[in-house]
A and B are shown apart, each in its own frame.
Chain A
Amino acid sequence: MLKTFTPGGIHPPADKLSSREATVPLPLPERVAIPLSQHIGVPATPLVKKGDRVKAGQLIGEAVGPISANVHSSVSGTVLDIEAVVDASGYARPAVVIRVEGDEWDASVSRQESPGRHLSAFSREEILAAIQAAGIVGMGGATFPTRVKLSPPPGSEPGLLIINGVECEPFLTADHRLMIEKSRELLIGTRFLMKALGVEQAVIGIENNKPDALAGMREAVMKHALGIEVCPLKVKYPQGGEKQLIRAITGRRVPPGALPISVGVVVHNVGTVYAAYEAITMHKPLVERVVTVTGKSLSRPGNYLCRVGTPVACLIEAAGGLPGDTGKVIAGGPMMGKALTSTAVVVTKGTSGVLVIPESEARRQPARDCIRCTKCVKACPMGLEPYLLMTLGEYRQTEALERARVMDCIECGSCNFTCPAHRPLLDIIRLGKSRVGQLMKTRKPS
C-alpha cells in the first residue's frame, strides 16, 4: 500500500508531455531583466548602475535584512538600466536590465565540482554561508529564502529532512528531469542540507507516476549508501504541498498556522537541493534553473536550462513558437501557476514552468448556483468547506470566515477544479483570506 495524504485531494490528468525530453540549455537571449525581488521578503538593493559591465555570477543585488536573498547577474554584459519591469501580475517592479555580451563567468565560480574535497570537509557554517551567498530560494514556487529555512528557530528540533520530488502539478517535468539527470548531485546536495540542519535522516518523496525518477534515485542511493531513503507515493494532487507531503510520508500533521519544523520536519524541493549542491561545490550562485516549457498546442514541449531574467517569449520560441490560437500563457503549472499578461515577463528563480493553453480551453465556464453536491468538501486537502467559505466571502462575513478556518487554505485550487457548477471558489476564498489577514493585523496591538 503506497503512502499518500488524507483528507481530500484530486486526480487531474497528468499531461506530462515533456517527461522524456532531456534538459537542454537555452541559447542566451539578447537581453535579460533580473528582478531585484524574486523571493518572499525584502527586495535586494542594487549594487550596479547604468553602464556597468557585469559577468555571469556576479552579485548585483544584496539581500536586505534576515528575510531576503542575494541576486546575481545571470549573464555577462552591460547594465542598460535599473528600471521598473512588469512582473507576472502586470505590476512594475525594479529590475536590472542587462544587454548580453558573450558568456563570461565571474572568477569565483568554478564550472565544475571541485575535485578531491570530501563531503565531511565542509562545515555547517560553510554550507549555510554558501547558500546565503548564492541567493538560493525555494524553487518549488514559494521562493522563501532557503538560508532562513535551514536555520530552525531556537528550541525546535529538526529530526527529518524531506526532499520534495513530488511535482504534483500537471504538465511540469523540471524536477522529474533533474532527478533522472542529476541523481548523484541531488544526493550530495541532500547530504549538505542534512548536515546544515543536523539531522540524520532524509526521505525523498516521489510520486509513483515517475518510475524512471524513482528507479534512478533508488539506484543512486544504493550506490552511494548515504542513509537517504526514497519513498514512493501514490499519485494525488496536491501532494507537493508541504503539509500534505509531511502527512503522506510521516503521518504527522502540521497544526494550522504552524511551520513544518513544529513537527520536526524541514521540506526542500529537489530544485533547491540542486542549487545548494552547485552553490557549495562550485560557488555557483542561483542564476539558472530548469524550466519546463509545455502545452498541448506547442510543437516541441521540453525542459530548458535557462538563465534567470530570460523573457518567457524566448523559451516559447525554443519550444516551437507561440501558436496563433493561444489563450493563456501560465508561469508555473495549471493548478497554482499565474496567467501572464504578456510573454515579455521574465523567468525568475521560482519559475518552474511555462504552460501555453489554447484559447478554446483557456476560458472559464460561466458560474452557476451551488448545488451543494459536496464535491469541494471531499476534494479539500485541508478539510475545509469551500462552498461555505465562498458564501461567507461573498457576504463579507469576515469573522465567520476566520472561524471557518479560511486561513488554513493552501490555495491549491482543488475546489475550483472539481466544482460541477464551475464556481470560482478559490477567487473568493483568496479574497476572504486577505480580509481575515487584515482583520488579524488590526487586532494584534490590542
Chain B
Amino acid sequence: MNSSMIIYTAISLCATGITAAVILYLVARKFRVEEDPRVDAIEALLPGANCGGCGQPGCRGLAVAIARANSLEGLACPAGDAATMPAIAAVLGLEAGTRVPRVAVVRCNGDHDRRPRSSVYDGYPSCVVEHALYRGEGDCPFGCLGLGDCARACAFGAIRVDETTGLPVVDEAACTGCEACVKACPRGIIEARARGIKERRVFVSCVNRDRGAIARAACGSACIGCGKCARECPFGAITVERNLAYIDFHKCKLCRKCVSSCPTGAIHEINFPPRKVELTRVETENTDTPC
C-alpha cells in the first residue's frame, strides 16, 4: 500500500462527504416547514400520552390545532391535571376556563347472573364489530358487549374487562377522564361524570331504553323507567326520558334517596361509607376504597 492510495482515498471520501452535505443542506432548505414555535411549547405542557381523548391525533395534533386556532374554544386536554390548560392558556396569552375533574363510569350492570347469555358470539373480538351485526350474547340490545374496546382505547390502563362479570371496571386512580373509552364504546355505556365530593358518585347503571317489561326480561337490574327515583329526588336531579332515568351530576347532592327507591337496583352509589342499616337489593361497589 503506498501513500498516494491513502491520499486519493481521503480526497475522494472528503469530496463525497462535502457533496452529500451540500445536497442535504439544499434539500433541507427547500423542504423546510415553517412551524409556529408555540406548538412545541404547548406540546411540552401536554401529558404526552397520545390518548386521543381530545379528539385530535395525539398530543402534537392538539398542540398544532390550538396554535392554529389561537384559542381554546372546543380544544382542551381532558387527560392533563388541573394545571395543564391554564399553562397552555398562558402560552397563548389567554384565560382558561375551569373544568371539573371527571372519571369514567360504566353504566351497565348486566353481568352474567343478571343478564343471562342466550347465544355465543364467535366473531372478531371487538364491540364495534359485534354491535353492528348483533344485539349481543344476552337479550339486552343496549347492554355492554364485554369485548373490551374501551380497555384497548385507554392509554392509561385505567379500564379493563372483568372476566367473571364480563363488564368493564374502571381504576379510578388511573383514570384521567380523557373520554377515549366513551368514544370507543359503540353503545354509549361509558360516561365521564364529575368525580364528586370525596370521589362519591350516584348514577343510574343502565342505558336500556326499552319499555319496562322488555328491559326487565332482558336483564334483572335494568332501569325500567318507573320514575320512582325522580319522584324521590328532593333536588330535581333525575329525569326519566324514553324509559330511562338519568341523574344530572351537576344537580345531584349525593343524598342517596334514589338508590334505595330503585326497585331493580339499577342505581349505584360509589365510595360512600357502608350504611348502618343492612341494605337489601342495593349494590355497593368499591366499598373497600378509603373515603
Contacts and interface: CB of A to CB of B under 8 A. Distances in A.
A and B touch in the complex (CB under 8 A): yes
Interface of A: 84, 86, 89-92, 338, 341-342, 362-364, 424, 427-428, 430-431, 434
B255 interface: no
B136 A90 contact: yes
B123 A424 contact: yes
B119 to A, nearest CB: 5
| Most chain B CB neighbours (cut-off 10 Å) among A90, A92, A362, A424 | A90
A338 B134 CA distance: 10
A35 to B, nearest CB: 15
B213 to A, nearest CB: 11
Given A84-B214, A92-B141, A424 B135 contact: no
A28 to B, nearest CB: 28
10 contacts: A86-B135, A89-B134, A90-B134, A90-B135, A90-B141, A91-B141, A92-B141, A428-B124, A431-B126, A431-B132
B118 A341 contact: yes
Q: Which 6 A-B pairs rank lowest in CB-CB distance, beginning with the nearest?
A: A90-B135, A427-B124, A424-B124, A341-B119, A91-B135, A427-B129
Interface string B59-95: 0000000000000000000000000000000000000
A362 to B, nearest CB: 8
A341 B117 CA distance: 11
Interface string B214-250: 1000000000000000000000000000000000000
B34 interface: no
Contacts of B139: 90
B170 interface: no
Contact of A431 (B118, B128, B135): B128
A431 B127 CA distance: 11
B118 A342 contact: yes
B119 A90 contact: yes
Contacts of B124: 424, 427-428
A7 to B, nearest CB: 26
A395 to B, nearest CB: 12
Contacts of A431: 126, 128-129, 132
A163 B132 CA distance: 32
A431 B129 CA distance: 6
Given A90-B139, A424-B123, 4 more contacts: A91-B135, A91-B141, A92-B210, A424-B124
A364 B122 contact: yes
A66 B176 CA distance: 50
A386 to B, nearest CB: 14
B: interface residue count bin: 10 to 19
Contact of A430 (B118, B129, B136, B210): B129
Interface in B120-148: 122-124, 126, 128-129, 132-136, 139, 141
| Most chain B CB neighbours (cut-off 10 Å) among A338, A342, A363, A424 | A424
| Most chain A CB neighbours (cut-off 10 Å) among B124, B134, B136 | B124
Nearest to B128: A431
B50 to A, nearest CB: 14
A398 to B, nearest CB: 12
A91 B143 CA distance: 12
Given A91-B141, A341-B119, A428 B129 contact: yes
B52 to A, nearest CB: 10
B214 A363 contact: no
Contacts of A338: 133
Contacts of A364: 122-123
A286 B214 CA distance: 31
A84 B139 CA distance: 13
Contacts of B214: 84, 92
B242 to A, nearest CB: 14
B167 to A, nearest CB: 19
Interface in B134-189: 134-136, 139, 141
A341 B123 contact: no
A434 B134 contact: no
Contact of B122 (A84, A363, A430): A363
A428 to B, nearest CB: 6
| Most chain B CB neighbours (cut-off 10 Å) among A362, A363, A431, A434 | A431
A341 B134 contact: yes
B239 to A, nearest CB: 24
A89 B129 contact: no
Contact of A89 (B123, B126, B135, B210): B135
| Most chain B CB neighbours (cut-off 10 Å) among A91, A341, A364 | A341
A341 B122 CA distance: 12
Contacts of A434: 132
B53 to A, nearest CB: 15
A364 B125 CA distance: 12
A163 B72 CA distance: 61
A430 B135 contact: no
A185 B72 CA distance: 70
Nearest to A364: B122
A362 B120 CA distance: 11
A269 to B, nearest CB: 24
B183 to A, nearest CB: 12
Contact of B123 (A86, A92, A362, A427): A427
A424 B125 CA distance: 10
A229 to B, nearest CB: 39
A231 B129 CA distance: 39
A399 to B, nearest CB: 12
A68 to B, nearest CB: 23
Interface in B97-127: 118-119, 122-124, 126
A426 B188 CA distance: 25
Contacts of A91: 135, 141
A90 B132 CA distance: 11
B226 to A, nearest CB: 20
A285 B228 CA distance: 49
B118 to A, nearest CB: 7
A318 B253 CA distance: 61
A233 B166 CA distance: 50
Contacts of A89: 133-135
B113 to A, nearest CB: 20
Nearest to B123: A427
Nearest to A367: B124
B123 A430 contact: no
Contacts of A90: 119, 134-136, 139, 141
